[in-house]
Structure 1
Amino acid sequence: MLKLSILDQSPVSIGFTHSEALQQTIQLAQAADRLGFTRFWVSEHHNSAGLAGSSPEVLLSTLAARTNRIRLGSGGVLLPHYSAYKVAENFRMLEALYPGRIDLGIGRAPGGTPHTAKALRGADADLFEGLERFPAQVHDLLRFLTDSVEAGHVFEGIRATPLVTGVPQVWLLGSTGQSGVYASQSGAAFCFAHFINGAGGQQAVRSYRKSFRPSALNVVPQTTVCIHVLCAETDAEAERLAASSDLRILQVEKGEFEGVLPPEEAAKYPYSEWDLTRVRDNRSRMIVGSASRVREQLLSLAASYEVNEVMIVAGGYQFETRLKTIELLAESFGLA
């Protein structure tokens, strides 16, 4: 049976506050826990009016305290902005408090504008150098998480605390094959962001598996794929509600995203011919429809990637739309 998981970006719908968006993320995580989803990840974005999640580590501690069994993780921590040592300590703390339930997903995207990245790293930071350092940061992070800093290394004798026996599951996240290369070289798991890039993911995952090097984290490759999903009682209702998601994705591309609009307002947006072409093209990153239709397409997607788990980003303007999506999928796949 296909396993289902969730990535929630704490989207802020027009007319709602960031605090309300974060409360909705908590409610969605509790529902996912109750319904039988495998894992629930939260994202990291900065200086965004339309996305409230800026600190996955802090949010994860609240989610873990309010759920019982579901795995919880970051999707993901933007490692180039931070110290690998501090990230290791943050997630060792979570692993100590909630053993066996924590995933550490890491990425190298800026999570905001270059100007915002400067604010995160310091005004004098070289942003390009930060990306170049990413592979070394990944290896340092894994050394700290597995207590394997070798003799003679610059960090010899340093251990990440608290000292715990378990290790968070480490995932590299990406929308290109390069992140798969980093994941295979480090022995980490790999999640392809099909919801960002609807082309080339299958080849990236195949290349990851072929080049995978066993490690203290994984002896065999582990993969999943993440895609936008909106599910409703009927195909027609799902298509109506998806107008909000179509516009949201387009506005993110155009740098105009200030929050999710209701479907009625999204339908009135003054789309140019270019906009309409992008909306049609972006449907390769989405699955929209009734439970039976979405189930069929999720199974097809999983088969094309050769994975036994798919992660969804539930779309829509109303929180109830996102909740209905995961309820219908849980019933359709017999998760609970």
Structure 2
Amino acid sequence: MIKLGVLDQVYVNEGQTATEALQHSTRLAVATEELGYNRFWVSEHHSMPALAFSSPEVLVAHLAAATNRIRVGSGGIMLPHYSAYKVAENFRLLEALHPGRIDLGLGRAPGGMPLATRALQQDKYVDVNKYPQQVLDIIGYLNNSMPAGHPFEKLLAAPSISSAPEIWLLGSSGESARIAASLGTSYAFAEFFGTPGGEMATQHYNEHFESNHVLEDHPRSMIATLAICAETEEEADQLAKSNDLLFLGIRTGLEIPYLPSVETANNYPYTDADLLHIQQIRQRRVIGTPAQVKKQLLQMSKDFNVSEILLNSPIHDEKARIHSYELIASEFGMN
């Protein structure tokens, strides 16, 4: 049976403050841990009013402290903005505080619009082509395995501990899969973006994986997908309308500063082109009853050849959102 986890982007619901959204995320982490979910990841985005945070390492610390068993991690840290050494220090500290529970997901996307990228990289020269070397440096720092002759060979990423976070490379394209395979890291495909080609990306990763003597000696891949579950198809369809409108805004350049309520989504003056966009968006969503959702997730695990899936469930109503995770967990026999 596949393992299920959670990807939370901590949307600020319409009518809600960012503080309330963060409190909701904490309650969701506690609830999904009790339900038996395997991981709880949070993403990195900048200058986006609809999202309640921009520093995953800070939120990971908070969520790990609020839970006891579930793995908590970044999905992910946008590494080209930062020093590999500082990222290693941050996540070594998290691992020291919560041994065996921390995941370090890394990405190479900007995580925001160009203005935010310029601010993050102010007075710095950044070459995204150095991303693979940054990943190798982080592996070295976290595992005390810097190669001989490296300029920072003797540098300690404090604190000195015997364990290390799991390292995952994230992506929504074949390029990230190629990098992950060549470096011997685990790989996660962001299927919830709706980008085609994920099946080919995970296939390439699995077939071209080169073992890294410091990390796992076998390929390990998963996907993150959007899943919304309710007792009936009609209710699941209604709950999904909030995300329909939010992603429509992303596609058409209309920034919506919150996750809309179902009422707002139902009352929106959609054009024919809008409805076509939503129809296209829905093609890569998992929406339905528990049995329907389970069937689709199992099929996706076969199509992508993965044994783990993270579920992203942007539902406006907190109780309905947690209930969606409850229904899925029950259908998979997790609780």
TM-score, normalised with respect to structure 2:
0.96
Q: How far did 1:257 drift?
A: 2.7
| Aligned amino acid, residue 60 of structure 1 | V
Q: What SS does structure 2 have at the residue aligned with 1:285?
A: coil
The equivalent position to 2:148 in structure 1, one of 148, 151, 166, is: 151
Q: State yes or no: 1:167 paired with 2:164.
A: yes
**Equivalent residue for 2:138?**
141
**Equivalent residue for 1:237?**
235
**Equivalent residue for 1:283?**
282
**Equivalent residue for 1:318?**
317
Q: What SS does structure 2 have at the residue aligned with 1:106?
A: strand
The equivalent position to 2:189 in structure 1, one of 166, 187, 192, is: 192
**Equivalent residue for 1:42?**
42
Report how many residues are paired. Answer: 333
What are the within-5 Å matches in structure 2 for residues 258-277 of structure 1?
258-277=257-276
| Aligned amino acid, residue 233 of structure 1 | E
Question: For the residues of structure 1 that align with 2:210 and 2:133, how far apart are their CA atoms?
Answer: 16
What are the within-5 Å matches in structure 2 for residues 13-92 of structure 1?
13-92=13-92
Q: What SS does structure 2 have at the residue aligned with 1:214?
A: coil
Check the 8 A contact 1:198/1:284 in 2, yes or no.
no
Q: How far did 1:232 drift?
A: 0.8
**Equivalent residue for 1:254?**
252
More displaced, 150-159 or 96-105?
150-159
**Equivalent residue for 2:93?**
93
Q: Which runs of 5+ in 2 are unaligned?
A: none
Q: How far did 1:270 drift?
A: 2.1
Q: State yes or no: 1:301 paired with 2:321.
A: no
Question: For the residues of structure 2 that align with 1:243 and 1:99, how far apart are their CA atoms?
Answer: 39
Q: How far did 1:132 drift?
A: 2.1
**Equivalent residue for 2:221?**
223
Q: What SS does structure 2 have at the residue aligned with 1:133?
A: helix
Question: For the residues of structure 2 that align with 1:87 and 1:51, how far apart are their CA atoms?
Answer: 22
Q: Which runs of 5+ in 1 are unaligned?
A: none
Q: What SS does structure 1 have at the residue aligned with 2:283?
A: helix
**Equivalent residue for 2:207?**
210
What are the within-5 Å matches in structure 2 for residues 113-152 of structure 1?
113-122=113-122, 124-125=123-124, 129-152=126-149
Question: For the residues of structure 1 that align with 2:302 and 2:256, how far apart are their CA atoms?
Answer: 33
TM-score, normalised with respect to structure 1:
0.96
**Equivalent residue for 2:8?**
8
Q: How far did 1:130 drift?
A: 3.2
CA-to-aligned-CA distance 1:39-98 (integer Å, 9 cap, x gap)? 110111111110112111111111111111111110001101110000001111011111
Question: For the residues of structure 1 that align with 2:50 and 2:295, how far apart are their CA atoms?
Answer: 31
Check the 8 A contact 1:8/1:41 in 2, yes or no.
yes
Percent identity of paired positions between Structure 1 and Structure 2: 45
